[in-house]
Structure 1
Amino acid sequence: MMKHFLFLVLTATLFSCGSTKVAYDYDEQIDFTTYKTYNYIGEMQTGMSQLDDNRLMDATDLVMQANGFSKSETPDLLINIVVEQYDAAPQNSVGIGVGGGSYGGGVSVGAGIPLGGRKDYQTITFDLVDARKDMLVWQAVSDSNVAVNTNPQDRVAYFTKIVQKVFSEFPPEK
């Protein structure tokens, strides 16, 4: 019985550690094959440190260039990135109950024990704006749990993973 309980707790813990979720939206009237160049909106305020800004933009540069785009001073697309960080209480708990009674009477006690501690989450919004029309044409919003106190190499890996997932659906196909 204890083995089953431990297996259940372990399974619940593994499934509670979510991966990155990404939501996309774009203008369906736009022919994305006409875009060849990109750059970032001047004085972009992501909400992160300059070090993390650089890591995130380096990862974005790699992915955009792998998708055939060139960085330019006169870009077709301008990229704006906004980052929000928040923490949340654990969503999963284990319930323990004790009960008893006979012939219509009874006593019951219950408790919920949260699994895991508070988690830090990060929402990163990528806006791609048509530079000539000053119009939003594509947007992706990623939401993932983030380890706040990590080393620089882990932060590079984290941002690289996020950007690869976000831009896996860009440019959208007709």
Structure 2
Amino acid sequence: MKYIKILFTLLFLVSCTAPKAFFDYDTRTDFTQYKSYNFYPDIETGLEKLDEKRLFRLTDSLMQARGFVRTATPDFYINIETGFFEPNNDGAVGVGVGGTGRNVGGGISIGLPIGSSNHNHEIVFDLVDVRKDQLYWQAIVKGYFDEEATPEERETYFRAVLLKAFEKYPPEK
């Protein structure tokens, strides 16, 4: 049974496009000063409650594995926002009919879109210095999220997103 779960998880990861991450940060920040964290007090992720719970638990696990401590008086807050967007559908096939003859012209054109109607998922991770109340790190992760995924697939997806989001945190000097 365990092998079947692993197989389905791998199939889920292969069938979905891997998340892509984009990073930005304040280059003047001394990242060694940050040892403790907590989630932003008024956080509204935009996720369903069970997905939000998964994401918080996985974030805690990742941050603690990297040596950070979650505390009520943190060095930085983690804010997480999510959104769904429809990818650009630039591909289309045009079919046209036209003709002319003796000062008479006409035409018919039909545009047929090519591609899927998938909705993509974007998760933004903001790290905010508590003392300065300033954003110092941001990661934006984009990927495809299947809203009909099983709980195991959802957990695998969020784990992949987190690993991608924090793969370059803290940045190398």
TM-score (norm 2): 0.75
Name the count of aligned residue pairs: 149
- Counterpart in the other structure of 1:132: 131
Displacement of 1:92 = 5.1
Q: Could you tell me which runs of 5 or more consecutive residues in structure 2 were left unpaired when the two chains were aligned.
A: 1-15, 96-108
Deviating above 4 A after TM superposition, structure 1's stretches of 4 or more consecutive aligned residues are 89-96, 110-116
Distance 1:154 1:94, change over 3 A: farther
Counterpart check, 1:19 vs 2:47: no
Q: How high is the sequence identity, in percent, across the aligned residues?
A: 41
CA change 1:94–1:20 in 2 (3 A) is farther
Please give the alpha-carbon distance, in whole angstroms, between the structure 2 residues aligned to 1:65 and 1:153.
22
Structure-2 separation of matches of 1:90 and 1:157:
28
Could you tell me which residue of structure 1 aligns to residue 69 of structure 2? 70
1:168 aligned residue: 167
Partner SS for 2:167: helix
- List per-residue Cα deviations over 1:5-24 (Å, max 9, x = no partner): xxxxxxxxxxxx64312111
Q: Counterpart of 1:119 in 2: which secondary structure?
A: coil
State the match for 1:148 in structure 2. 147
The residue identity in structure 1 corresponding to 2:34 is Y
Query: 2:28 and 2:88 mapped to 1: Cα distance?
Result: 41
8 Å contact kept, 1:26–1:138 = yes
> What is the aligned-residue RMSD (CA, Å)?
2.4
With over 3 angstroms needed to count, the CA separation of the structure-2 counterparts of 1:153 and 1:91, relative to structure 1, is: farther
Q: Quick one: distance in 2 between partners of 1:59 and 1:35?
A: 19
Aligned mates of 1:26, 1:73 — CA distance in 2: 24
Q: Give yes or no for contact 1:89–1:119 (8 Å, CA) kept in 2.
A: no
Counterpart secondary structure, 1:136: strand
Do the aligned partners of 1:86 and 1:122 also contact (CA within 8 Å) in 2?
Answer: yes
Provide the rounded CA distance (Å) in 2 between the counterparts of 1:172 and 1:143. 20
Secondary structure (helix, strand or coil) at the match of 1:88 reads: coil
Q: Deviations over 1:70-127 (max 9, x none)?
A: 111110010000101123365556899xxxxxxxxxxxxx988655531111110000
Q: Which runs of 5+ in 1 are unaligned?
A: 1-16, 97-109
Instruction: Please state how far the C-alpha of 1:67 moved relative to its aligned partner.
Output: 1.4
- Separation (CA, whole Å) in 2 of partners of 1:93 and 1:123: 25
Give the Cα–Cα distance (whole angstroms) in 2 for the partners of residues 165 and 130 of structure 1: 22
Q: Which amino acid aligns with 2:133?
A: D
